[in-house]
Amino acid sequence: MNITWRLAWRNLWRHRRRTWLTVGAMVFCNTLLIFLISVQLGSYQMMIDNSLGAFSGHLQLQHRGFDEDQRIRQSVPAVSERALQVEALLAGEAVAARGIAYALASSEERSFGIQVTGVQPAREPGVSTLPGLLREGRYLSGADGEIVVGALLARNLRVGPGDEITMLGSGRDGSFAAAIATVVGIIESGIPELDRALAQVSLPWFQTVFNMGDHGHSVVVRLRNLDRVPAAVVALQPLLAGAPELVVLDWDQLQPGLRQAIRSDMASAWVMYGVLILLVAFSVLNTQLMSVLERTREFGVMLALGVSPGRLARLVGLETALLAALGLALGVAAGGLLGLYLQQAGFTFPGMEEMNARFNLPERIYPPVTLASLLWGPLTVFLGALLAAVYPALRLFGLQPVSAMRAS
């Protein structure tokens, strides 16, 4: 076995330029794959944070079934106190209580259906990016009778800061709910569905208008890191022990389409990655096939001396494995160094900073360096290179010693 390794390594460097060109192609491909996959994972992280940060948060404590029906009676009792309990269990995380109801909003000229959300003005900026997306006016101060609305809703109702909106709806006890609110701010999130129905008021006033008592509909949690979600769900289980009607929902349950969108994008990206890997595999195939053809006489002599075709095939396979391993090691090293740099310095492209600033997002992507981003692509290239050696190795089984030794 030691002789086989020595022969494979020696054969690899018979044509140094050809070997280095092939290794160089693999290193370039591996480095590019590490970069692309890291940026892709970083963009997914930003997309998740953007989607969750706009409204839903990473976790929510709700009444069981409220996420599907959103009926006003499916409420969380003592919602503000629950928020304080959640904050105590998840030290350092942003927590806020909310209430949700539906109403008919009317201005002097028009009427539209809206979703009225009661929020805690001091806590809401911690769990949502919406307070930072004001286009006009200011955010809620906590006073009764104030409301901030989405940009499309403001345009549809033809209202601006200082104008009044009349709200008509139903209270939690089935009573008639009516109130007049003064617009103090207009939010432009860039999400048409949200901007068309968004209306936020302070939670205490919301509870008064809709006869909620101390009830609300959700305790929203925004975590510092997406990886903390499973531990946070476990940490909140004691709150559910005495309240079987309550449930903790994570981001995947709150926005089930988000993970599906990520999987779809990843699948389309791997089509492009596959083309790149296929090109490298053909490069390896060309190198090894030329190596086998050049050594036809040598292989003929070895066959005549009693070496089996299977052993020669294993030798070619070992040469390919050493070639691929060299490309893997150098590629992972180069890609890892590039990834570590981008993880610290960040990555951006023209126009990204302006676009992200508009949506209250970070100006740069910071691609994470993980085992997945480092090894996912290079290991696929390694396997592709090994598969490329199958055809040159199989040719050896058809060699005849006499004819092979006569080959020029």
Q: Percent of the chain, pLDDT > 90?
A: 40
Q: Quote the pLDDT of residue 361.
A: 59
37-47 pLDDT per residue, tens: 888 888 787 77
Q: Quote the pLDDT of residue 8.
A: 84
Does a structural domain hold residue 150?
Answer: yes
169, 204, 222 — which closes off a domain? 222
Does a structural domain hold residue 246?
Answer: no
Q: Using N-to-C axis directions, what is the helix angle for 296-304 and 256-294, rounded to 10°?
A: 70
Work out the average pLDDT over 17-36.
Answer: 90
Residue 248: what residue type? V
DSSP SS3 for 213? coil
Same domain, 268 and 135: no
Does a structural domain hold residue 244?
Answer: no
Cα gap 112→156, rounded to integer Å: 8
Does a structural domain hold residue 236?
Answer: no
Determine the number of helices (DSSP H) and then strands (DSSP E) in the chain.
18, 10
Q: Are residues 160 and 182 in contact, defined by beta-carbon separation less than 8 angstroms?
A: no
Same domain, 265 and 382: yes
Single out the residue of 306, 310, 276, 308 nearest to residue 380, CA to CA: 276
Does a structural domain hold residue 351?
Answer: yes
Does a structural domain hold residue 297?
Answer: yes
- The pair of structure tokens assigned to 343 is 């993880």
CA distances from 161 to 125, 148, 332 (A): 20, 9, 56
Does a structural domain hold residue 238?
Answer: no
Confidence of residue 402 (pLDDT cuts 50, 70, 90): confident
Same domain, 47 and 100: no
Residue 128 has pLDDT above 80, yes or no: yes
Residue 358 has pLDDT above 60, yes or no: no
CA distances from 115 to 95, 134, 193, 306 (A): 21, 18, 11, 84
Q: Quote the pLDDT of residue 302.
A: 82
Same domain, 401 and 351: yes
Which residues constitute the domain of residue 161? 59-222
Same domain, 175 and 310: no
Same domain, 44 and 175: no
Work out the average pLDDT over 224-228.
Answer: 83
Same domain, 304 and 391: yes
Q: Tell me the sheet residues that pair with 222.
A: 94
Q: Quote the pLDDT of residue 154.
A: 93
| Cα 155 from chain centroid (whole Å) | 33
Same domain, 47 and 80: no
Between 352 and 371, the higher pLDDT residue: 371
274-328 pLDDT per residue, tens: 888 898 888 888 888 888 878 878 878 888 888 888 888 888 889 899 999 999 9
0.85 surpassed by pTM? no
Same domain, 104 and 199: yes
Work out how many domains the chain is built from and give that number. Answer: 2
Cα gap 66→73, rounded to integer Å: 9
264-282 pLDDT per residue, tens: 888 888 888 888 889 888 8
Same domain, 270 and 386: yes
195, 222, 249 — which closes off a domain? 222
DSSP string of 226-261? GGGHHHHHHHTHHHHTT-TTEEEEEHHHH-HHHHHH
Does a structural domain hold residue 239?
Answer: no
